[in-house]
Each structure stands twice: as structure tokens, then as C-alpha cells.
Amino acid sequence: MEPLVAEKVAPSMPRLGSLAPDFQAETTHGTIRLEDFRGSWLILFSHPADFTPVCTTEFVAFAQIAPELKKRNVELMGLSIDSTYSHIAWVRNIEQNFGVKIPFPVIADLNKEVATLYGMIMPGESKTETSRCVFVIDPNGILRAMIYYPLTTGRNMDEILRLIDALQTTDKHGVATPANWRPGEKVIVPPPKTTEAAEERVHAGYECKDWYFCRKAL
Amino acid sequence: MGCINADGTLIASATKLLRAMQSPISLEEAARQTELPLYRVRSSMREFLQARLVEEKDGRFVVTAAGKARISTQP
């Protein structure tokens, strides 16, 4: 458990299917490393700034889905280019004004280190604020999904829950999920990779429109 | 620093965690006992180790004499 050495970070974009970039950061819950979340899913998300209206609605909304995420072994962690003191004041303000306690840590990324590492800053939108990014990192530290929203538009929590359900269903059953899929609905059987498998597929008892398009109930 | 204040006192969750480590315990067991998220336990443990309030033996953690002394001053 040696402290990580701070290095200058080059701007980058994370890649799906690769290890999520490692970091150590100061948060409202103390010093946290990405590796501290191993064994759990993590939703790392950024917001433009504390004490702004859309971000406040999002924080309330993230706090409201936190219990559902917990049931799915998912932790949340926020980030913006603000100080720990600003974050503390804001989450206290949210509790006072909206009656919602923020249960997750928030990274104080004043030096933009994590924001730069994860490509959270879109200079065309703002050079001093992070856009509304969501990174879904699995229990092995692999980046599994990314969502980027502009400064003006609050995120959809139902979609974030749906995304988690879809990813976990894929991992558990080795299937894919169709457009607008919801838990309980039929899933997509991954297409066959050989002519022999394609032939077998037709007779495998799946609901097939064609050899490449088969669905099944779980 | 997140669980040890500048004056050396502990925040409530840190006290709870230290009290759970009277005998050697894994981080996962500590998380279950204290109902703290595992990431919080891992993060706090780094601070405890640095402050020598706990020691590690074969992947299990136990409070030190200094840690016991610190707990005794906590409410």
C-alpha cells in the first residue's frame, strides 16, 4: 500500500474493454484509489460544477438510485474541478434544501488530473469544467461503458440503471441485449461464427428470424 | 486524510472500523461487520497503516497498541 507517485498526465480518452486508467484522488470520503473499488462495479461520473442547477438535479437523482445500484453491487463516485471544501458545502446544501443525503464520494479534481486521464474536458464546451460523463467500470477494473452528455443536458438515471442491468446480464448469461431492452425481456443470442454453428443455430430451439437473428428468454 | 482528523482524533466510521479489528480480520470481513463499503475500508486501512494504528499479517489486519489507545479516547 505504497502511495502512488504523482505524474503529469497527458490528455487521453479511455477505451472500452481496456483497464480503466488508474488514479489516486482526494475525495469527500478521503483519499481513494480506483483499485479500492475492485470487486465492485463503479460508476465514475463527472459534473461541470458544484452549486449549479442541472448538476444539483443530477446529484439528487444519483443519490436516489444509489440504493438500487447497491443491490447490483455498484458504487458511485462523482468528480468535478472543484475543491473538497466546495464539494462538502454543496452536498450539505443539497441535504438542507432538498432533503437528500449524498452517500457517495466526490473527487476534488482541482489539478484536472483524473479529468484529463478520462477525457472528461471538452474544450469546445468548456476548458474549465468537466462535461457530464459516465464511466462504468466492472469489478475487474475494465471500462465497460461510457456516456457523454453536454453541459446543458441532465442525464437519465433510468438509462444508467438499464445499462448496468444489461451489462450484468451479458456477463451472467453470455448474451447481448437488443435496443430498449429491459430486464425480463428476451435477449439476443450472439450470432454464430461458423457455417456449422449457423446451421445448428436454426435447430437449437431459439426464436430465430434468421440464422443471425435469434432471441431467447432467460 | 479522510478518517483521521488533523488533531489525531478519528471520525466515527474510523472508530467503528478500528473497533472491528480487535482480532485479525480481512478487509472483506471488516466491511461486512461495520457495514461500510469495501472501498472505504481499503482507503481507511491505508491511513491506519500509515499512522501505525493497525498492522497487517498475512492479509489480515489487527489494531495495534497505539490504535487501542486511540480508540480509548474516542466517544
Has A208 been annotated as catalytic? no
| Per-residue pLDDT tens digits for A86-135 | 999 999 999 999 999 999 999 999 999 999 999 999 999 999 999 999 99
pLDDT of amino acid A11: 67
Average pLDDT, chain A: 94
Q: Is the pLDDT of residue A1 over 80?
A: no
Taking CA atoms, what residue in B is nearest to A26?
B1
Which chain A residues are within 8 Å of B37, Cβ to Cβ? 40, 75
Helix locations, chain A, DSSP H: 53-71, 84-98, 113-117, 157-173, 195-202
Cβ–Cβ gap B46/A39 under 8 Å: no
Tell me if B1 is assigned to some domain.
no
Alpha-carbon Rg for chain A in angstroms: 20
As for how many domains chain B has, the answer is 1
Which chain A residues are within 8 Å of B3, Cβ to Cβ? 30
Alpha-carbon Rg for chain B in angstroms: 11
pLDDT of amino acid A198: 87
Domain that holds residue B17: 12-72
| Per-residue pLDDT tens digits for B11-70 | 888 999 999 999 999 999 999 999 999 999 999 999 999 999 999 999 999 999 999 988
Neighbours of A77 (CB within 10 A): 25
Coil, strand or helix: which one is A62?
helix
Q: Is the pLDDT of residue A217 over 80?
A: yes
CATH code of the domain in which B62 resides: 1.10.10.10
pLDDT of amino acid A109: 98
Cβ–Cβ gap A36/B38 under 8 Å: yes
Q: Which domains, ranges and CATH numbers included, belong to chain A?
A: 24-172 (3.40.30.10), 174-216 (3.30.1020.10)
Q: Which residues contact A63 (CB under 8 A, 6 or more apart)?
A: A100, A101, A102, A103, A104
Question: What does the pLDDT average to over A194-200?
Answer: 89
Cβ–Cβ gap B39/A1 under 8 Å: no
B51 min Cα distance to partner chain A (Å):
13
pLDDT of amino acid A7: 55
